[in-house]
Structures are given as structure tokens and as C-alpha cells.
């Protein structure tokens, strides 16, 4: 039991770091003039591998650190909650659907809907941007789709690698 908790802590820290790096360093230019990143890919993978609580915590910490260290401190609390819920809900749906590719896609879609709506709600209500916050929806949808596709591919590669120790439920 104790070894399982230590393994989850170590893998959780690694995934929080991957969420941070893939969000803050790996930037993919988007047609809307901004950029997207692979952070959502590792947010989903965190939930799929670690389960709802550990995955949500790793995702929330890694994503919030990105905002904190990038100067977007006003987004830190919202990002922590939104990305944590993204991974938490995706993990629950993934487990309920028996963990195959369809489960990754469906749970990813549900998780990324939480992300898109969460950021819209946070920016419009908490940050006071009102309906102007809707301008971020298309970019967040693109980022979510990239996260689902890349996350599914990477997760299948991890599963095929023989790293079964990562998947001890």
C-alpha cells in the first residue's frame, strides 16, 4: 500500500512537471494569431494514469504553475480548479467506460468541455470580462481537440511500452 502511494506521488510529480513544460515551453502557432500548447494532452493523461484525485491534483498544480511563472497570476486559482476538474472528470469517465480508446475520446471530450466552459465562466464572471470572454472559446476548443488527439496517441504508446507499473489501480 505504501509503495503504491509513493509511486503515485512520484508519477504525479512527473506529470505535473510534464503539464508545466508542455504548456509553457511547447507552443504551436495557431491560425487565430495566438498559439496552442500540449498542456491539455498531459492534463488528460494525468487523469487517465493516476485516477481522479491524484490526476486532478497533478494537472491543477502543473497548469497553475504555468500561469504563476508566466505572469498570469490572476488566472492561477481558476486554472488550478478548471484543469483539476478537467482531469478528475476525465478520469472518472475513463474508468467507468473500461479504459479503451473510445473511453479516452469520450472522457477527453467531456474534460475539455469543462475546460472551455470553465475558462469562459472564470474570465466572464470572476475576471469581469463579460461576454468578451467568448473570444477565447475557439482557441480553447482547438487546444482541447489537440489535447484529446495527442493524449490518446501518447497514452496508447505508454500502454504499448510495457510500463504496466503506471497503471496499478
Residue 164 lies in a domain: no
Within a domain: 126:
yes
Whether the pTM exceeds 0.95: the reply is no
**Which residues constitute the domain of residue 139?**
2-159
| Domain membership flag for residue 96 | yes
Residue 58 belongs to domain with CATH number = 1.10.1760.20
Indicate the number of domains in the chain.
Answer: 1
- 165 falls within a domain: no
Which of 156, 154, 169, 164 has its CA nearest to residue 15? 154
Instruction: Please list the pLDDT of the chain residue by residue as tens digits (169 residues).
Output: 467 888 889 999 999 999 999 999 988 876 656 678 899 999 999 999 999 999 999 999 999 999 999 898 999 999 999 999 999 999 999 999 988 899 999 999 999 999 999 999 999 998 888 888 898 898 899 999 999 999 999 999 988 887 766 665 5
Residue 167 lies in a domain: no
Tell me the C-alpha distance between 62 and 68, whole Å: 10
For residue 140, is it within any domain? yes
Q: Compute φ and ψ for 70, nearest 5 degrees.
A: -100, 0
Amino acid at each position: 500500500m505504501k509503495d503504491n502511494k509513493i509511486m503515485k506521488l512520484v508519477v504525479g510529480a512527473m506529470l505535473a512537471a510534464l503539464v508545466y513544460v508542455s504548456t509553457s515551453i511547447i507552443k504551436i502557432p495557431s491560425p487565430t494569431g495566438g498559439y496552442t500548447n500540449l498542456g491539455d494532452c498531459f492534463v488528460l493523461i494525468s487523469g487517465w494514469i493516476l485516477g481522479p484525485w491524484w490526476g486532478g491534483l497533478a494537472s491543477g498544480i502543473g497548469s497553475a504553475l504555468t500561469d504563476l511563472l508566466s505572469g498570469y497570476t490572476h488566472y492561477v486559482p481558476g486554472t488550478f480548479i478548471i484543469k483539476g476538474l478537467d482531469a478528475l472528470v476525465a478520469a472518472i469517465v475513463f474508468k467507468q467506460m473500461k479504459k479503451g480508446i473510445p473511453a479516452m475520446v469520450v472522457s477527453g471530450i467531456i474534460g475539455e468541455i469543462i475546460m472551455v466552459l470553465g475558462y469562459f465562466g472564470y474570465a466572464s464572471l470572476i475576471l469581469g470580462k463579460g461576454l468578451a470572454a467568448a473570444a477565447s472559446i475557439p482557441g480553447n476548443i482547438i487546444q482541447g481537440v489537440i489535447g484529446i488527439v495527442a493524449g490518446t496517441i501518447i497514452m496508447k504508446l505508454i500502454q504499448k511500452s510495457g510500463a504496466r507499473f503506471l497503471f496499478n489501480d
